Copies of this chain bind each other. A is one copy, B any other.
Amino acid sequence: MSSSFGNRLRVQLFGESHGKAVGAVIDAPPPGEAVDEKELLRFLERRRPGRSPLMSSRNETDYPVFLSGLYEGHTTGTPLTVIMENADARPDSYAGLFSVPRPGHADYAAAVRYQGAADMRGGGHFSARLTAPFCAAGGIALQILERRGIFIGSHIAEIDSVADDPFPLVPDAELFHALADKEIPVLNDEAGRLMKQSILGARSAGDSVGGIVECAAVGFPAGLGSPRFEGADSRIASVLFGIPAVKGVEFGAGFEASRMRGSQNNDPFIVRDGRILTSKNDAGGILGGITTGMPIIVRAAFKPTPSISIPQTTVDLSSMQPAEITLSGRHDPCVVPRAVPVVEAAVALVLLDMLLEG
């Protein structure tokens, strides 16, 4: 077993970048939930390549085809399968690459793991292309959560050391929608302008940059999740590290919490309108693995895209001799803008699973 996760709501990904199709099975969403395809397409559009110079020019319609589990616009409650055909696959771009692993990619690790049998064209099953069906699954989860008053949104917290402003203590759906509409989803548009500049600069240098996505979930009830290894943080982190290029995950104050004193970091409990809240949220809405009712705040750090057109040092596995590699395909100079909905999809799928578990 590998490319699946979830307890009550299990998501199974499949497909390779240049194979016939990529897809996901969700086993199983609650029955009778409407799936608004237009809204889903809007969500998928945020991840789709080929829309601007900020991203890969690969042209995929990413149109989700439902093979099962959807009937007359509603979930049936049995396994829901969605696939996306690989329309603009160009396997030729990768001919001859496979004995020369690309630095920063899974090529070498996968060659050992699969004894050379994996279809690694374009990264194969390891490709970020798999985040398309992942987002289809997540987009459906988002709709189901929204219907229950739970909203998830994100901004780019940082690209190439340019930082956005922080989220307010309790962001709302309106803010999330405004962010979703932006090319660079940030709170501070001047920061966004600098981020874009940074990406374009890296692109023209044949290089790439990384960044940090911050995601918030509001309206999620207190008291869900389980202690220890089935905690909300364990489960969200585990799925986020399944997104290509994620190298770090933190909740609330995260790494910064390790530099605080207890008296600063602890969130005081308060009462507002008969509900228990905290006056700040350094815990990121999770204590002991269990939700507190405050917004769940998580940040995922993305490394710079490993595919760059600057020559790199590697090894030719067939001769075991040093080699140089220069990548000429269609690559994102920064995965972060397209990764924003992917992070939301991850959080949505875990939270829906937790909610269904009760």
- Residues of A at the B interface (CB closer than 8 Å) are 1-10, 12-16, 19-23, 25, 27-28, 31-32, 65-69, 71, 74-81, 83, 101, 103-106, 108-119, 124-126, 130, 158, 160-161, 202, 207-212, 222-231, 233-235, 237-239, 241-242, 244, 246-255, 257-271, 274, 276, 278-279, 282-284, 286-293, 301-308, 310, 312-315, 317, 320-322, 357-358
**Chain B residues in 8 Å Cβ range of A111:** 223
Give complex CA distance A279, B312 in Å. Answer: 12
Task: Write 21 A-B pairs (CB below 8 A) sorted by A numbering.
Answer: A8-B8, A12-B25, A14-B79, A20-B67, A21-B68, A23-B68, A71-B119, A76-B125, A78-B114, A78-B118, A78-B119, A106-B227, A106-B290, A209-B261, A229-B238, A231-B242, A255-B301, A258-B303, A262-B310, A266-B306, A270-B315
**With A and B bound together, what is the CA distance between A261 and B107 in angstroms?**
20
Q: Is the CB of A10 within 8 A of B4?
A: yes
- A301–B320 Cα distance when bound, in Å, is 39
- Give chain B residues whose Cβ lies under 8 Å from the Cβ of A283: 104, 247
Asked if B16 contacts A1 (CB within 8 A), the reply is: no
B320 touches A103 (CB 8 A): no
A313 touches B76 (CB 8 A): no
Known: A118-B78, A241-B289, A242-B229. A208 touches B303 (CB 8 A): no
> Is the Cβ of B2 less than 8 Å from the Cβ of A78?
yes
Chain B residue with Cβ nearest A24: B25
Give A76 to B117 CA distance when docked, in angstroms. 5
Q: Is the CB of A248 within 8 A of B242?
A: no
Contact assessment for B242 and A289 in the assembled complex, using a CB-CB cutoff below 8 Å: yes
A258 B119 Cβ-Cβ under 8 A: no
Residues of B within 8 A of A160 (CB): 259, 261
- A251's contact among B4, B161, B247, B315, by CB below 8 Å, is which? B247
Does A254 contact B247, Cβ atoms closer than 8 Å?
yes
Are A303 and B20 CB-contacts (below 8 A) given A81-B15, A287-B106?
Answer: no
Indicate whether A115 sits within 8 Å of B32 (C-beta atoms), given known contacts A209-B261, A247-B254, A308-B262: yes
Chain B residue contacts of A255, Cβ below 8 A: 212, 247-248, 250, 255, 301
Residues of B within 8 A of A4 (CB): 10, 12, 27, 228-230
- Given contacts A247-B253, A259-B160, A260-B304, whether A19 and B289 have CB atoms under 8 Å apart is no
CA distance A129 to B292 in the complex (A): 22
Pairwise interchain contact B25-A14, C-beta atoms closer than 8 A: yes
Contact A269 B227 (CB under 8 A): no
B227 touches A125 (CB 8 A): yes
A81 in complex: contacting residue of B14, B260, B307, CB < 8 Å:
B14
Pairwise interchain contact B247-A237, C-beta atoms closer than 8 A: no
Are the CB atoms of B112 and A223 closer together than 8 Å? yes
- When the two chains form their complex, are residues B109 and A292 in contact, meaning their CB atoms are under 8 A apart? yes
Partner of A314, one of B210, B253, B263, B268: B268
**Docked-complex contact A27 and B10, CB < 8 angstroms:** no
Counting from the closest, the 9 A-B pairs by CB-CB distance are A106-B288, A112-B223, A2-B226, A248-B250, A208-B262, A104-B266, A32-B117, A109-B290, A78-B125
- Contact, CB under 8 Å: B25 / A2: no
Question: With a CB–CB cut-off of 8 A, which chain B residues contact A222?
Answer: 108-109, 112
Partner among B14, B116, B242 whose Cβ is within 8 Å of the Cβ of A68: B14
